[in-house]
């Protein structure tokens, strides 16, 4: 159990075998984050399952409660490009490719390339129904 601004959390972080990440990886886990096997990540990646609240305009974000965590899952063999952000509630499918500086706010299907802010589908490497 860990606490922040009066709330308690029981975070679960699972990182599969064979993963490799560049420098400055930041994982903010208040709920549950699962990173599959053989995930390759570049430098300066952020993965978070919550965010600082902003409801109380009289208090700076650092003194606000964290939003309710939403699970994050990154599938086996995914690639996370330099500077990308994987946000709360997102599932990145198996062998998905996240482009540099992408901000991923929605699920990414397996075998799919996404890029941009917010991340959008650029290409499907394989039909997920066949994979």
φ and ψ of 112, to 5 deg: -125, 140
- Is residue 88 annotated as part of the catalytic site, yes or no? no
Angle in degrees, CA 118, 48, 27, rounded to 5: 125
Contact between residue 102 and residue 108 where contact means Cβ atoms under 8 Å apart: no
The single residue of 52, 53, 67, 128 carrying the catalytic annotation is: 52
- DSSP symbol at 56: -
Question: Environment class of residue 112 by beta-carbon count within 10 Å: exposed (0-12), middle (13-18) or buried (19+)?
Answer: buried
Query: Rounded to 5 degrees, what are φ and ψ at 63?
Result: -105, 10
Q: Which of 86, 88, 90, 69 is nearest to 8 (CA)?
A: 69
What residues are annotated to the active site? 52
């Amino acid at each position: 159990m860990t606490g922040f601004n009066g709330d308690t959390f029981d975070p679960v972080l699972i990182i599969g075998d064979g993963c490799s990440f560049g420098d400055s990886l930041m994982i903010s886990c208040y709920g549950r984050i699962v990173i599959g096997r053989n995930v390759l990540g570049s430098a300066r990646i952020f993965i978070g399952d919550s965010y600082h609240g902003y409801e109380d305009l009289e208090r700076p974000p650092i003194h606000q409660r964290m939003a309710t965590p939403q699970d994050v899952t990154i599938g086996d063999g995914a690639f996370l490009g330099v500077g990308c952000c994987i946000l709360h509630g997102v599932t990145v499918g198996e062998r998905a490719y996240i482009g540099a500086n992408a901000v991923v706010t929605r699920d990414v299907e397996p075998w799919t390339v996404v890029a941009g802010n917010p991340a959008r589908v650029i290409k499907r490497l394989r039909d997920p129904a066949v994979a």
